[in-house]
Amino acid sequence: MWIAYAAGSAFFAGLTSILAKCGIKRTDSDVATAIRTIVVLIFSWIMVFVAGSQKGIGGISTKSLLFLILSGLATGASWLCYFKALQLGDINKVVPIDKSSTVLTIILAFILFKEPIGVAKTVGIAGIAAGTYLMIERNENKHAQATRLSENETGDTAHGKKNLWIVYAVLSAVFASLTSILGKFGIEGVESNLGTAIRTIVVLVMSWVVVFAKGKKAELANVRKNELGYIVLSGFATGASWLCYYRALQDGPASIVVPIDKLSILITIAFSYFVFKEKLSKKAMVGLVLIVAGTLVMLIK
């Protein structure tokens, strides 16, 4: 049964990106992130009370709380960057970069926790890195579009707009990795559902602070109803993914559950093709195969 939950986690995680993309066509990505975090927060605390984890609130040490807060700040930064990247770039290019956070997490775990990197992980890292590079490489059609764009804009402006999504996508991956590392420090002695719920409170506060600090409060009234619906649904998809993910971890081995969850990239790419007509070039297809193969090879002990 835990395999079904792991597959459900991957499905809803993949669906999250598509729903979010639909919700930020005209809605500011920071505003969208702040709104959807409300839904995610509700889900995270539902998980806490379902598991009965609320009893452990009083036993959280100052150190654990500090690292959970830092992990929450990293999560918030990752989400803000991720949805900005989605707003500016194609899903089938942004998602592979975001998923490459697995590679950085493994490297940081090796440096900070002395977790061994065997042959399988080394091959997996190489596959994911090579696949990510192939998937984000521009194809000729994109190049032609960029050329036409540059004819209507100054060279610097066009170049900046073409490449800014990459910056946000890379930052999303970096902060996602820091989330895992900081969370590992903070989760010691803290039930995972409770730790996630506390981190989500931090994400909520951070996302709304960003909205108000950037003077985007007025944009809340301009959010279109149909986009608001997609934003809320993306929050539900995230919550459903978490519920399935932690249920799968509860019953099944993490060494198998985690890679299955990471295969959500296949769901995202499939939906991006049918919903946004984003097609993969031959190089990108090879890259996708390498990413999937690199992820699966990490199952080897």
Are 27 and 84 in contact by the 8 Å Cβ rule? The answer is no
Q: What is the average per-residue pLDDT within 99-118?
A: 83
The two tokens of residue 261 are: 């969850």
Contacts of 266 (CB under 8 A, 6+ apart): 10, 14, 288, 292
d(CA 101, CA 265): 13
* Domain that includes residue 39, residue range: 2-297
Amino acid at 121: K
Q: Tell me what pLDDT residue 256 has.
A: 73
Residue 253 burial by CB count (10 A; 0-12/13-18/19+): exposed, middle or buried?
Answer: exposed
Q: What is the pLDDT of residues 171-218, one digit of tens each?
A: 999 998 998 888 777 666 788 788 889 989 999 999 999 999 999 999
d(CA 165, CA 93): 9
Helix locations, the chain, DSSP H: 2-23, 29-51, 62-88, 91-99, 101-113, 119-136, 140-152, 155-186, 192-213, 225-251, 254-262, 264-276, 282-297
Are 204 and 43 in contact by the 8 Å Cβ rule? The answer is no
Amino acid at 160: G
Q: What is the pLDDT of residues 240-269, one digit of tens each?
A: 998 888 778 777 876 677 778 888 999 999
pTM of the model: 0.84
Q: Tell me what pLDDT residue 138 has.
A: 58
Instruction: Give the total number of structural domains in the chain.
Output: 1
Percent of the chain with pLDDT strictly greater than 90? 45
Residues 203, 8, 254, CA angle at the centre, nearest 5°?
75
Amino acid at 263: L
